[in-house]
Each structure stands twice: as structure tokens, then as C-alpha cells.
């Protein structure tokens, strides 16, 4: 065993620290009241605490590559901070054998006025290497970053790409027994990212122990053997990486509660009817808003109409995180005539899914055939397209995305 | 079962007296790289470069000479007012820069400290060392002017001048200690950053930099209460043979240096563990 984490907890104070809270802390110290007396009393202003981590237990064997998975706010970063000694835990003990190199960020401590060469030494030492080690790796680092020509130029003159490449190169050549990595792969251009993932893979191949946090399930699956899943500061799973990724994706499924469209959700409404229920599921019929790469999106929708139409327009727009429309589904494109009856109408829609991995939002529109809207729901549903495919080889093949939509063509060699 | 050996044990609290010196020693390369960075980066892209090290004490000594000696006609000791002020300013600047720089340790480095672990004490130590280097350069300047007076035969150096390295150490310990105390408090209360410049300025006027102890009259005790005063006086006495020099005064200064240093280090060590969450 190379790392043993026992009962780790980390508590944060909520609210501002001011003279009042300071005085209360002092009073508590003298009266012997431990702060924990009011820690869960949320009525006390400034006296609120929250456990960002609680009862974390796990052990890591030498050579293992452990993925730490969880949503934003689940406690991943806090756990890494505690493991890399940036901040002390509130409870528990961590025991570690050997040196720890932590990469919570690339380029920590880079000084803009110093040259590339000076920064390689400084940054290397900050990350825990001694001068001798850095000197022996120096050429390799510069080579990896591809900045030979600029190595004696202050880094403030570097392009942001060069800067990041040099920073990552230093980090990648760390050789501690244990490496802690937080999403630093999300830097640089596509080509460089691939180089980084390759480097990570080779590092873990050398029997180095790696703890790795990322949102990119593809990278995690590619690099890790085992995973732990954090939810709201608690560890809910410790298992093989496939199981953990699976559990993570399931836990992530967000629905419109039971599918009921809330009142006043409409962006526009003519008063002639309204959407009542929108339920999303996958091909297997499971309710979800997480879809495998390329897997069709199915919607069951219910519209309550006051009017009778021979033909209506049913539209679903997909928007990206910037709220830009990127994809448009309308029944008219598919020459599919749908009548609208008075009272409740059920629609069942299956959309092909050319979306690249990412998070998207749906607008759902009911309109007259000429386009005059009846009820428009704005960003009513969030969907996530994962970079994993339904089968092991149908996933998204790259570590980055270009655009939002997969195109297709016929490819021949002339 | 045999006791397993662990290199790192992370717990919520460490023993308060544990200064983790071993770890500090292991990271000595980093100390010197920080030192280099502190020196090199400050005067990059300046025309005069390291000359700025000299300009600061010269300008302020010159200003003091004009204002206090020529215009206000205040008494100084020694062969010339300029030498008197310079001999006070150089050690004082060293001390006050140590305090001010170190008081900002947590605030200025919060980003780096929040991302990677290395013994936090390296930062203030390297800053203090870079100040020692600056002091040594400025001392050269003092010696040049002193030598001019020596050549003229109007100074009487004595063996107290040899105490200089110890004086320097004592001032470094005091500056570091006070700076670290301030930086530990400033994690929670940024007020410190506002008042520190102000405090140091007042402290300078309440020291023997401007008013020699011999002419302070009934306010002598204020000046002597400032632990830097006795050191400055003794430094001047050693080189010029004139000045207020007592062994108890020096003992008081050295005693303060040790106490302040220890207090600063322990305060810093206990603050560093969770400051990231609080700053």
C-alpha cells in the first residue's frame, strides 16, 4: 500500500469572517465550547459550516492509476488539495510513502519576467524536483514543449500556447512515486492534448502511482484501472473504472422532475394551448438526459390544445452552452404531417443524434403550420452527450471536440 | 505486525513545536531559486538595474540631511550628517523591508500556495536572504563614505564594528519575526496591510535613525524601547566611535530578536496549514 486515506473530512465555514465571528471563536476557545457545537446550526449568522468531504476512506496500491470522479462540487478538488497538502484536513489521517508531485494546475509559480530556462528550474523545484534532476531532464523538457528557440526569452513574450506547453512539459517530467493530476490536460491545442494523454499513459505504464481527476470520461477510462465516485463530499463507490463511470453517468441523469412542465415556463404563448409533459429517454426506454455518443434521443410529449388544426408545426431546437442554436428538428423537414386535436395530444419523437460530446439545451416549440407560435419552451431540458459510445468502439475518438455536430461524407482515395 | 514506514503523514493538526525543518532542508534548492528570482526579477527591464539598490538609501539620507540637519538644524553625531543618516537608513531600510515584504507572504503567494505544496517558510526565508544581499551592497556604499572620513581622520572605529554580522542576524530575525506575525494576522484581517506602512514609518521616527539617543532628552526611553535603536547606535559607534552604546541595550535588542523570531515562526507555522481556506 502506498497511500492510505482514513476517515478524511474537510469542513468549511460559510459566510464572511468578520469581527463578530472572530470574537465568538475566541469566546468558544476560552469557554471550552468547541466550534462544533454550532456547526450545523444554520440560523447563526456566520456560524455555518459545510463538510466538503466526509468519511473518505480508500487505499492505493503502488502502480495503480486511480480516477476520482464526481460532479462539480462533489469534493474532488478539495480531496486533491488535502492529498497534496495545500490545505490540512479537518479530520482523519493520510499516510503516504515516497514523494508526491501534484499538478493541480500547470505553470504554477511561473514568473513572467524570467526566461523560459529560469522558469523551468523554478517551476521544477516548486513541483518538488531538485536542481540535479531538472538539469538532467532539461533538454527533454524543452524538446517536449518545442520551444528551443525561445528558451532564453522571458515567458511573458510567449504565445499562450507556448507558455502552456512549456508549463506542462515541466510537469510531465516530474518523477515522484505518486502523481496527483487535476484536469490539467484541458489545456493547449488538440495536438498537444493528445501528446499529454500519451505522456500520462506512458507515465502510468512505468509503474508510477497516479491519482487523476477529470470530467472527461474518455480520458479517465483510457488511463485509469480503478475509480472512486464522490457525491456531495461522500465517497459512494470504489470499484473498477467501468463500474464507476457507469454509476456516475446514471447518477447524473437529470429530468424535468417527473417530466411535468412547470407553469410559466413558456417563452411565448398564444393562449391556444400549452405543453404539459416532456419526458426524455434513451432507446432502451430508460428515463435519462445523458446519451451515448451517436445514440438517438427519444421524447414523449403531451400538449393540451384549445384549438383544432389539420397540420401543426412541432419543432425542437438544440442550443449550445452559449445559448446559440446549433441544430434544428422540425416535423415539416421530414414531411411528417401531424394534426393537433382539441384536448390532450401525445407525441412521440425520435431524433437522430449527430451531436459531439457536450452539454446542450432544448427549446421545444408548438406552432401553426405557417410558423406562428402557440407555445415555445426555452431551454426546457438539458441533455448531455457523452464521449462514450454504446459499444466500446463507437465512442468519440478524440480528446477534444471540433464544432458541435458530426458531419459525414463519402471518402474515396483517388 | 511490523510498524510500516510512512514518508508523509497528513493530520488535521501537527504538534505546535514541529517546525518541519527536515523538509525545509530537503527543499534548499528551491530556496536558492526563489532567492535568485527575487533578485533578478525586481530590476528586470529597468535602465539602472541594481543601481536602484543604492539610490534609495542615498536619496533618503540626502533628504534627511537637507530637511533635518540643514533646514531644521537638528543635531546629529559623527563627522557628517550625511554619514549619520546613511548609517541609520541602511540598517533601518533592511529591517523595514524585511517586515513589509514578509508581511505580504500569504497574500502575495496565495495563488501558488493554493496550488502546490512546498514548505511555506521558504518564501519569507528567501525574501530575507535577498534583503541581506541588498544590505551588503548598500553597506559597501556606507563603507566608501566612511572610508573618506577615516582617511580624513575624523572617525574612530573600534572592535564593536566586528559585531556587524550579529547585528545583521538580529535585525533579520526581528524583521522576519514581525513580518511573519503580521502575515499570519493578515490572513484574516487585511487591515494589517493598510497599517503596516504607517507603523513602520512611525517606528522609524521613534528610533535612532533620525534622532540620536544622546539628543532625545526625556524621550530617550521611547527610542530605546525600539529594539532596532540599540543595534543602529552600536553599529554607528563601532565605525565612528561616537554613539550611544550600552551592553544592556544590546542585550535587550538581541533578546527581543530571539523572542520575536520564535513567535513569528510559530505563528506562521500554525497559520500556514489552512490559510488557503481563510484568506
The rounded distance, in Å, linking the Cα atoms of A210 and B241 is: 65
Q: Give the percent of chain A with pLDDT over 90.
A: 35
Examine residue A413 and state whether it is found in any structural domain, yes or no: no
Contact B276 A86 (CB under 8 A): yes
Of the partner residues A96, A104, A114, the one whose CB lies closest to the CB of residue B37: A114
Nearest residue on chain B to A22, alpha-carbon basis? B188
Whether the per-residue pLDDT at B186 is higher than 70: the answer is yes
Give me chain A's average pLDDT, please: 83
pLDDT of amino acid A302: 93
d(CA B179, CA B98): 7
Residues A176 and A220 grouped into a single domain? yes
Residue A251: band (very low, low, confident or very high) from pLDDT cuts 50, 70, 90: low
Q: pLDDT per residue over B16-27, tens digit each?
A: 778 888 888 888
Q: State ipTM.
A: 0.84
Residue A33 lies in a domain: no
Among chain A residues, the shortest Cα distance to B113 is held by A86
3-state secondary structure chain B: CCCCCCCEEECCCCCCCCCCHHHHHHCHHHHHHHHHHHHHHHCCCCCCHHHHHHHHHHHHHHHHHHHHHHHCCCCCCCCCHHHHHHHHHHHHHHHHHHHHHHHCHHHHCHHHHCCCCCCCCHHHHHHHHHHHHHHHHHHHHHHHHHHHHHHHCCCCCCHHHHHHHHHHHHHHHHHHHHHHHHHHHHCCCCHHHHHHHHHHHHHHHCCCCCCCHHHCHHHHHHHHHCHHHHHHHHHHHHHHCCCCCCHHHHHHHHHHHHHHHHHHHHHHHHHCCCHHHHC
The C-alpha cell at A288 is 435519462
CA distance A367 to A92: 60
Give the residue numbers spanning the domain of A314: 266-385
Q: Please state at what angle helix B122-152 crosses helix B164-186, rounded to 10 degrees.
A: 140
The CATH number of whichever domain residue A360 belongs to comes to 2.70.50.60
Both A228 and A180 in one domain: the answer is: yes
CB contact under 8 A, A126 and B116: yes
| Nearest-CA distance B139 → chain A (Å) | 28
CA-based nearest residue to B274, from B120, B101, B122, B126 = B120
pLDDT at A38 over 50: no
B58 in Cβ contact with B86 (< 8 Å): yes
Reading the block at residue A44, the C-alpha cell is: 447563526
Q: What is the mean pLDDT of residues A71-88?
A: 86
- Assigned domain for A396 exists: no
Cell 526569452 appears where?
A153
Per CB-CB distance under 8 Å, the chain A contacts of B9 are 93-96
B139 CB neighbour count, 10 Å cutoff: 18
Which residues does residue A115 pair with via DSSP β-bridges, in sequence order? A154
Question: A111: which chain B residues are within 8 Å (Cβ-Cβ)?
Answer: 37, 41
Is residue A364 scored above 50 in pLDDT? yes
- Output the pLDDT for position A322: 64
Per-residue pLDDT band for A253 (boundaries 50, 70, 90) equals very low
- Using the beta-carbon criterion (under 8 Å), do A87 and B40 form an inter-chain contact? no
Give how many domains chain A has, as a whole number. Answer: 2
The answer to whether B231 and B171 are in contact (CB under 8 A) is yes
User: Do A129 and A234 share a domain, yes or no?
Assistant: yes
Alpha helices (H) along A127-256: 131-145, 160-172, 190-205, 217-223, 241-252
What grid cell was written down for A278?
A: 416532456
Give dist(CA A305, CA A204) in Å, integer: 60
Max Cα separation, chain B?
A: 82
pLDDT (0 to 100) of residue B169? 96
Check residues B38 and A48 and name the one with the higher pLDDT: B38
CA distance B20 to chain A (A): 14
B105 vs B100: CA distance, rounded Å: 9
Of the candidates A86, A96, A122, which has its C-beta nearest B114's C-beta?
Answer: A86
Mutate to test the interface with B, among A87, A103, A121, A127 (most CBs of B within 10 A): A87
Q: What residues contact B11, with CB distance under 8 A and at least 6 apart? A: A88, A89, A92, A93, A94
| A60 CB-contact burial (10 Å; exposed 0-12 / middle 13-18 / buried 19+) | buried
Half-sphere exposure of A404 (CA within 13 A, CB side): 16
Least confident of A190-199, A269-278, B151-160, B223-232: A190-199
Q: In chain B, what residues touch A84 (CB-CB under 8 Å)?
A: 116-117
Q: Are strands A49-60 and A3-13 parallel, antiparallel or unpaired?
A: antiparallel
How many interchain CB pairs under 8 A, A with B? 107
Question: Is there a single domain that holds both residue A200 and residue A319?
Answer: no
- Please, which residues bridge with residue A385 across strands? A291, A358
Domain CATH code at residue A143: 3.40.50.300
The three-point CA angle A42-A43-A44 to 5° equals 90
Q: Is the pLDDT of residue A334 over 60?
A: yes
Q: Does any CB of chain A come closer than 8 Å to the CB of residue B8?
A: yes
pLDDT tens profile B81-116: 899 999 999 999 999 999 999 998 888 888 888 888
A330 plus A240 within the same structural domain: no
* Residue written as grid cell 463519402: A410
pLDDT(B203) > 90: yes
- Answer yes or no: is A220 within a domain: yes
Are A90 and A235 part of one and the same domain? Answer: yes
The minimum CA-CA distance between B112 and chain A, rounded to whole Å, is 6
> Residue A58, class by beta-carbon neighbours within 10 Å (0-12 exposed, 13-18 middle, 19+ buried)?
middle
C-alpha A76/C-alpha A212 separation (Å) is 10
Give Cα separations from A342 to A1, A300, A305, A306 (angstroms). Answer: 68, 18, 5, 5
Of B11, B33, B41, the CB nearest to A93: B11
Q: pLDDT digit string (tens) for A377-387? A: 877 888 889 88
pLDDT at A47 over 60: no
Check CB contact under 8 Å for B7 and A84. Answer: no
Cβ proximity of A166 and A157 under 8 Å: no
Chain A: closest CA distance from residue B189 (Å)? 8
Strand partners, A240: A226
pLDDT at residue B239 tops 80: yes
Chain A contact for B34, CB < 8 A? yes
Identify the band that residue A336 occupies on the pLDDT scale cut at 50, 70 and 90. very high
Whole-number average pLDDT of chain B: 89
B11 touching A, CB under 8 A? yes
Residue B35 forms part of a structural domain? yes
Closest C-alpha among B264, B244, B268 to residue B256: B264
Distance CA A226, CA A240 (A): 4
- pLDDT (average), residues A193-213: 78
Residue A347 lies in a domain: yes
pLDDT tops 60 at residue A33: no
Ranges assigned E (strand) in A24-176: 49-60, 65-70, 91-96, 100-103
Q: Does A12 touch chain B (CB under 8 A)?
A: yes
Query: Are residues A223 and A98 both part of a single domain?
Result: yes
Q: What is the pLDDT of residues A104-138, one digit of tens each?
A: 877 788 888 889 999 999 999 988 888 999 999 99
**What values do phi and psi take at A319, rounded to 5?**
-120, 150
pLDDT attached to residue A46? 45
Residues A103 and A202 in one domain: yes
Q: What is the per-residue burial (b if ≥16 Cβ within 10 Å, else e) of A337-362?
A: ebebeeeebebebebebebbbbebbb
What's the number of domains chain B is made of? Answer: 1
Task: Please indicate, yes or no, whether residues A282 and A370 belong to a single structural domain of this protein.
Answer: yes
* Residue B132 structural domain: 21-40+50-278
Q: How close, in Å, is residue B7 to chain A by CA atoms?
A: 5
Looking at residue A35, the DSSP 8-state letter turns out to be G
- Are B118 and A126 a contacting pair at CB < 8 A? yes
Of A164, A162, A120, whose CA–CA distance to A139 is shortest? A120
Q: Is there a single domain that holds both residue A364 and residue A339?
A: yes
B44 in contact with A, Cβ within 8 Å: yes
Residue of A nearest to B23 (CA): A128
Residues A146 and A274 in one domain: no
Q: Is A93 in contact with A195 (CB distance < 8 Å)?
A: no
> Do A106 and A208 belong together in one domain?
yes
Interface check for B41 against chain A (CB to CB < 8 A): the answer is yes
Give first-to-last CA distance, chain A, whole Å. Answer: 57
CB-based contact B116 A84, cutoff 8 Å: yes
Q: How many angstroms separate the CA atoms of B114 and B102, rounded?
A: 18
Distance from CA of A109 to the nearest CA of B (A): 6
Q: Rounded to a whole number, what is the distance in Å from the CA of B81 to chain A's nearest CA?
A: 39
Amino acid at each position: 500500500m502506498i497511500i492510505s486515506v482514513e476517515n478524511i473530512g474537510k469542513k468549511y465555514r460559510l459566510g464572511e469572517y468578520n469581527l463578530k465571528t472572530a470574537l465568538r471563536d475566541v469566546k468558544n476557545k476560552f469557554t471550552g465550547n468547541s466550534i462544533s457545537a454550532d456547526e450545523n446550526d444554520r440560523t447563526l449568522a456566520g456560524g455555518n459550516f459545510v463538510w466538503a468531504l466526509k468519511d473518505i476512506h480508500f487505499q492505493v496500491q503502488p502502480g495503480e492509476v486511480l480516477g476520482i470522479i464526481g460532479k462539480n462540487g462533489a469534493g474532488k478538488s478539495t480531496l486533491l488539495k488535502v492529498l497534496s497538502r495545500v490545505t490540512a484536513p479537518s479530520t482523519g489521517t493520510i499516510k503516504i510513502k515516497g514523494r508526491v508531485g501534484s499538478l493541480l494546475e500547470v505553470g504554477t509559480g511561473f514568473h513572467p519576467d524570467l526566461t523560459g530556462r529560469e522558469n523551468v528550474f523554478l517551476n521544477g523545484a516548486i513541483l518538488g524536483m531538485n536542481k540535479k534532476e531538472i538539469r538532467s531532464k532539461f533538454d527533454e523538457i524543452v524538446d517536449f514543449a518545442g520551444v528551443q528557440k525561445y528558451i532564453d526569452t522571458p515567458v511573458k513574450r510567449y504565445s499562450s500556447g507556448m507558455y502552456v506547453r512549456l508549463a506542462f512539459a515541466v510537469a510531465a517530467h516530474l518523477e515522484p512515486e505518486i502523481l496527483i493530476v487535476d484536469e490539467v490536460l484541458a489545456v493547449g491545442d488538440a495536438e498537444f492534448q493528445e501528446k499529454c494523454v500519451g505522456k500520462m499513459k506512458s507515465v502510468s505504464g512505468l509503474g508510477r502511482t497516479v491519482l487523476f481527476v477529470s470530467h472527461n470520461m474518455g480520458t479517465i477510462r483510457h488511463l485509469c484501472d480503478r475509480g472512486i465516485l464522490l457525491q456531495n463530499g461522500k465517497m459512494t463507490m470504489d470499484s473498477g473504472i467501468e463500474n464507476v463511470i457507469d454509476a456516475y453517468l446514471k447518477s447524473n441523469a437529470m429530468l424535468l422532475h417527473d417530466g411535468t412542465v412547470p407553469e410559466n415556463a413558456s417563452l411565448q404563448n398564444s393562449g391556444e394551448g400549452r405543453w404539459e409533459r416532456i419526458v426524455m429517454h434513451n432507446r432502451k426506454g430508460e428515463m435519462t438526459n445523458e446519451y451515448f455518443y451517436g445514440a438517438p434521443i427519444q421524447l414523449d410529449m403531451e400538449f393540451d390544445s384549445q384549438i383544432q388544426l389539420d397540420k401543426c408545426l412541432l419543432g425542437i431546437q438544440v442550443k449550445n452552452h452559449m445559448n446559440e442554436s446549433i441544430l434544428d428538428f422540425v416535423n415539416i423537414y421530414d414531411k411528417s404531417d401531424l394534426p393537433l386535436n382539441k384536448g390532450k395530444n401525445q407525441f412521440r419523437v425520435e431524433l437522430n443524434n449527430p451531436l459531439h460530446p457536450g452539454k446542450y439545451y432544448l427549446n421545444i416549440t408548438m406552432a401553426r403550420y405557417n410558423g406562428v407560435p402557440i407555445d415555445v419552451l426555452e431551454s426546457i431540458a438539458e441533455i448531455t452527450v457523452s464521449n462514450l459510445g454504446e459499444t466500446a468502439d463507437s465512442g468519440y475518438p478524440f480528446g477534444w471536440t471540433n464544432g458541435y455536430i458530426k458531419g459525414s461524407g463519402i471518402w474515396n482515395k483517388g | 505486525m511490523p510498524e510500516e514506514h510512512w514518508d508523509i503523514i497528513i493530520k488535521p493538526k501537527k504538534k505546535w513545536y514541529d517546525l518541519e525543518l527536515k523538509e525545509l532542508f530537503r527543499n534548499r534548492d528551491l530556496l536558492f531559486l526563489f532567492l535568485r528570482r527575487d533578485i533578478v526579477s525586481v530590476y528586470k527591464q529597468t535602465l539602472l538595474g541594481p543601481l536602484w539598490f543604492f539610490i534609495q538609501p542615498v536619496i533618503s539620507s540626502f533628504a534627511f540631511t537637507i530637511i533635518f540637519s540643514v533646514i531644521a538644524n537638528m543635531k546629529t553625531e559623527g563627522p557628517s550628517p550625511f554619514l549619520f543618516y546613511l548609517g541609520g537608513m541602511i540598517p533601518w531600510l533592511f529591517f523595514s523591508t524585511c517586515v513589509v515584504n514578509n508581511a505580504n507572504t500569504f497574500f502575495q503567494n496565495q495563488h501558488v500556495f493554493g496550488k502546490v505544496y512546498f514548505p511555506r517558510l521558504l518564501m519569507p526565508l528567501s525574501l530575507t536572504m535577498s534583503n541581506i544581499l541588498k544590505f551588503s551592497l548598500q553597506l559597501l556604499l556606507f563603507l566608501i563614505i566612511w572610508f573618506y572620513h577615516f582617511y580624513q581622520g575624523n572617525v574612530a572605529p573600534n572592535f564593536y564594528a566586528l559585531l556587524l554580522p550579529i547585528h545583521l542576524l538580529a535585525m533579520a530575525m526581528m524583521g522576519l519575526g514581525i513580518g511573519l506575525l503580521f502575515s499570519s494576522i493578515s490572513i484574516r484581517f487585511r487591515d494589517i496591510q493598510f497599517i503596516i506602512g504607517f507603523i513602520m514609518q512611525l517606528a522609524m521616527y521613534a528610533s535612532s535613525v533620525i534622532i540620536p539617543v544622546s539628543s532625545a532628552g526625556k524621550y530617550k526611553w521611547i527610542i530605546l524601547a525600539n529594539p532596532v535603536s540599540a543595534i543602529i547606535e552600536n553599529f554607528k559607534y563601532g565605525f565612528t566611535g561616537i554613539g550611544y552604546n550600552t551592553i544592556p541595550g544590546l542585550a535587550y535588542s538581541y533578546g527581543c530578536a530571539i523572542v520575536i523570531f520564535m513567535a513569528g515562526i510559530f505563528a506562521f507555522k500554525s497559520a500556514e496549514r489552512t490559510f488557503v481556506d481563510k484568506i
